[in-house]
Amino acid sequence: MSAAFPFLDMSASKSKPTIDLQQIVDVIPQTITVLAPDGTITYANQAVLDYTGLTIDDVMKSDFRDRVFHPGDVKRLRDERQQALLRGKPFENEQRARRRDGKYRWFLIRYRPLLDKTGQPLRWYASGTDIDDLKRAEARLQRDERELRQLVDSLPQHVLVLDAKGSILQVNEMMLDYLGRTLKEMQNPATGDRIKRDLYIQTTRIRNCY
């Protein structure tokens, strides 16, 4: 690699071996990059090279982000990322990175600064965690919830879903229309308890009719 990287000397004497920190970082499965204070990449571990299919020289070029990250994410995060680098505080974001086969996967990127004595960043360390499976699972859950909601709303009966503490989670459209309420009104503690009490009274009256 053409990029210099600090070494971690673990030896207490000349008789003990010196451990190369670069070798340690290269066996970590997470993607790791080291950035200059302005965000320019000065080092990338082997996981970055394996994932992107790029060389270390490619990674250190100014167009690396445009080549690897999804165009929509680059545009969306450009100003936010630059402002965060200027603040010198840890931050994170989620963005899609292009794999060597051309497919994009979601990554959680965490940035941590190494500060000097005055509190200014000397360099940044960015680690990337693949969260694509999690994002897909969340998308499936949201889709399933929408489908369930549509199913419940299509039922010709009043449907009220409560949690273990009795708080309202869902109310179908038929019941909302009947009560002339919105879901937010039903879930509002200030009005929800009164609505549930009125429902109980109405239900009791109906039962007593039979």
Choose among 138, 192, 139: nearest CA to 168: 192
Instruction: Tell me the backbone φ, ψ of residue 138, rounded to 5 degrees.
Output: -65, -40
Q: What pLDDT does residue 4 have? A: 44
CA dist., res. 203 & res. 210, Å (int): 11
Contacts of 66 (CB under 8 A, 6+ apart): 74
Instruction: Tell me the backbone φ, ψ of residue 192, rounded to 5 degrees.
Output: -60, -40
Q: What pLDDT does residue 56 have? A: 94
Domain with CATH 3.30.450.20 in the chain: 21-130
Residue 66: half-sphere exposure toward Cβ, Cα within 13 Å: 3
Query: Cβ(91)–Cβ(82) under 8 Å?
Result: no
Q: What pLDDT does residue 13 have? A: 42
This prediction's pTM = 0.66
Amino acid at 32: I
| Residue carrying the six token digits 């680059």 | 74
Amino acid at 99: R
Tell me the three state secondary structure of residue 119: coil
Q: What pLDDT does residue 7 have? A: 36
CA dist., res. 167 & res. 195, Å (int): 12
Neighbours of 63 (CB within 10 A): 8
Both tokens of 11, joined, read 């030896």
Sign of torsion, CA 173 178 180 183? negative
CA dist., res. 35 & res. 177, Å (int): 57
CA angle 154, 159, 160 (to 5 degrees): 140
Which residues of the chain have a pLDDT value below 70? 1-19, 191-210
CA dist., res. 44 & res. 31, Å (int): 8
Q: What pLDDT does residue 185 have? A: 83
Q: Alpha-carbon Rg of the chain, whole angstroms?
A: 27
The answer as to CATH 1.10.3720.10 being correct for domain 21-130 is no
CA angle 165, 170, 174 (to 5 degrees): 135
CA dist., res. 28 & res. 57, Å (int): 20
